Structure 1
């Protein structure tokens, strides 16, 4: 069986030897620093219950859309990979793992390969390259490790050095797992909930009335009126903040903002509760509610993050069978400058307001996001996200954003993952790429090495802490 040789100590560092030496020193200064993960999707109950992971497939394949979407593109049925929440039995899990290993060549050149190799090598201590021949041996070795206390979720969080881990949570969530973790003196990682109200702001949804009724029950507020609806959202935001939340997350197809007259907002809301709001009315209401979210942020201090520009559930048959987040969300173009002007006119210089802009449309990094972050004290350029959290895209981001906005107007790295074991690999990728970028500035005599060293450390410590008010 062939060993993995791509896990070189200098991976992702510059090819030029002189610049590489500088990058080595910069990376060495950050490699062992704690991980701050202020936006992600790891289920908090994994840590609260500290239950052993079941098998390699349910841990590394079934929940990771980066992995299973590429296998699906190779013709592997999603049902054979345990996608959609129905667990596979041991035979099915082993078969899915074999399919993954047999298709290892599909990951060549991808960021997923970098992360998966790091997980296999650094987390499990394995050296064999995945293949048809090595599949069973790898499966057995990982399964044996997962049965030990050292591979329970809490032990891994401590081993990985995760100081902050943000989850993404429904506004009606009880946050019982977050409360249990916060009250546990034996668990050091800070697990922060993130308020994700998207579906409660979309009146075009067929279940909008049921959703806002549930919101009202969670807040103990009558949501039959627009005023009650706003009060319920405000109440739940306060609840999240009281349980350690620092940010809200909004992922709509665009970030257009506008302000409706209160009477007009009430009229559309009332129609939406009966399912009679038009598409135009529903869109206007959602855009108005982004303004309301910003207004609430100025009052409660939660950081507002925008993740727009995704065509969700592009393949309807897959969505119908397997549900959302099953690998077929596709990026679309998005515009920020005109879309956010109403919001920034009102709140862009408001004391305490912070807005982090993420995108899947690389064309706006230098054209819109960097200039906005380079003027408004409230705006931060979010790190490359989702399809863009990959080596080449991260390099392009640094070049596109830094010359206009600098380093301190960025968010710090965002791993945005459900794949718990890949978190250290993703952050290491970012630290290596930042070391390489800073080393190039030093080699070109655009930055002194002591400044580069200071910046490398800040990019994983004070910069994300400031952006997310940690």
Structure 2
């Protein structure tokens, strides 16, 4: 039998009590993910376990490649059965990788399958789970979300998106709300030449307004932000290797935008100037709208040029960057703070070496207007596993206030990934419960339990959704 028992990851009696009495029953707000709003609105049904589990999951693809699996069975044209067989053959080799834990948590929570996935069990597990997915009406995407007690899902959306599927879902599904997140990569990507020009043209068409200047661009972005806000958006998101460090000058940004739209080449320094000016503008807009701004920093994307050309982005060839973050981050936050237009901000670092940089940086810009206004984000991407989550929480505890932490998210493209919240909650409770029993924290289960409830749900509810009465 499997090992996902009642006290999985819980090493003490206090940890067990904290989890079962306080954490387990708390609802989930998944405030950053990459789920398809179309799949949710249409209540997509999956034909088999491979479709639900392996489609788009670059975590699994990386492990499979490392185990010697050919690309045909990762992103290629292998059949669903062949791909699952290769994943089942890989799982026993993932011992001590979080994929081993997540795999068995997901089998247990969604399909009540409590056995190890390996070549011997693969066929039975595949048939059992696939039958539930394809035949049981409670296994549509909406039900997969609801059964994990998810109240809110925030997807990741381009400014030119219509958001029609968010509207359809929220009009028809009162249980789990789906809100958009503003992710303006395209409008910042001036270094992409013709692709950038094409994007700006598409954005202008959606807004029904021409874009020939930086002022035009600002007006269009404000219009699109209004559109997002009307669909429940309260959060933006940005991803960077490191923040741009150019000058903030709208006149210069206007010249550079016109140059780019006319097919001109921009130097890296000029791209920095444009991006810094635009990011500064958007940050102030977020503050005016009481949106939270998420900054994901420290990733090198598409490391393998060969595989990027073959497979495209988000296929498992990204890694941690060792770029210096502190000066650029401080410059940006301080610039907005000087004008009292620094929005609520959540900073996620991908390099664990930056834990203490971020842990100290967030304290520089708290202003008393909201508890935990500037947040150190949860363990992200390569750091969303037990060791790194503990490292993040220890850094935050030592340098800030863990009690104000807005907790975990999935950052996932999979509808079967919500047990990652359970994984985080068990890790949190084990950390606190162990310290209770070691005398490092008060032996007051209700006090510490209340803190657990806040980190699991209450803090993010009050931080981003306090005025929302839809859930």
Q: Which runs of 5+ in 2 are unaligned?
A: 367-372, 467-471
Structure-1 residue corresponding to 2:343: 353
Structure-2 residue corresponding to 1:460: 456
Structure-2 residue corresponding to 1:438: 432
Cα distance change, pair 408–255 in 1 and its aligned pair in 2 (3 A): farther
- Cα drift, residue 60 of structure 1: 0.6
1:138 to 119, 125, 131: 125
Secondary structure of residue in 2 paired with 1:173: coil
2:274 to 272, 277, 285: 285
**Deviation readout 1:358-396 (Å, 9 max, x if unpaired):** 010111212x21112223224111111100000011111
- Cα drift, residue 409 of structure 1: 4.3
Structure-1 residue corresponding to 2:314: 325
Structure-1 residue corresponding to 2:285: 296
Cα distance change, pair 152–80 in 1 and its aligned pair in 2 (3 A): same
- Give the Cα separation in 1 of the matches to 2:374 and 2:244: 16
Matched, 1:267 2:255: yes
**Deviation readout 1:232-273 (Å, 9 max, x if unpaired):** 112111211110111111002212444432221111111121
Deviates more, 1:382-391 or 1:141-150: 141-150
**Contact 1:374–1:409 (Cα < 8 Å) also in 2:** no
- Give the Cα separation in 2 of the matches to 1:283 and 1:179: 36
Secondary structure of residue in 1 paired with 2:131: helix
Runs of 4+ in 1 over 4 A off after TM superposition: none
**Contact 1:198–1:252 (Cα < 8 Å) also in 2:** no
Cα distance change, pair 196–26 in 1 and its aligned pair in 2 (3 A): same
- Give the Cα separation in 2 of the matches to 1:451 and 1:41: 35
- Give the Cα separation in 1 of the matches to 2:71 and 2:264: 34
Structure-1 residue corresponding to 2:50: 57
**Contact 2:63–2:90 (Cα < 8 Å) also in 1:** no
Structure-2 residue corresponding to 1:17: none
Secondary structure of residue in 2 paired with 1:296: helix
Structure-1 residue corresponding to 2:13: 21
- Cα drift, residue 335 of structure 1: 3.6
Structure-2 residue corresponding to 1:343: 332
**Contact 1:253–1:311 (Cα < 8 Å) also in 2:** yes
- Give the Cα separation in 1 of the matches to 2:119 and 2:408: 35
Structure-2 residue corresponding to 1:383: 378
- Give the Cα separation in 1 of the matches to 2:175 and 2:277: 40
Count how many residue pairs are aligned between Structure 1 and Structure 2.
Answer: 453
- Give the Cα separation in 2 of the matches to 1:155 and 1:354: 32
Structure-2 residue corresponding to 1:175: 163
**Deviation readout 1:90-137 (Å, 9 max, x if unpaired):** x71101111111122221111111111011122111133222222221
Query: TM-score under structure 1 normalisation?
Result: 0.92
Q: CA RMSD in A?
A: 1.8
Structure-2 residue corresponding to 1:370: 359
**Contact 1:333–1:361 (Cα < 8 Å) also in 2:** yes
- Give the Cα separation in 1 of the matches to 2:67 and 2:148: 32
- Give the Cα separation in 1 of the matches to 2:248 and 2:333: 16
Secondary structure of residue in 1 paired with 2:456: coil
- Give the Cα separation in 1 of the matches to 2:264 and 2:84: 45
Deviates more, 1:449-458 or 1:342-351: 342-351
2:7 to 10, 16, 24: 10
Matched, 1:231 2:219: yes
- Give the Cα separation in 1 of the matches to 2:247 and 2:203: 23
**Contact 1:165–1:191 (Cα < 8 Å) also in 2:** yes
Matched, 1:80 2:73: yes
- Cα drift, residue 64 of structure 1: 1.1
Secondary structure of residue in 2 paired with 1:32: coil
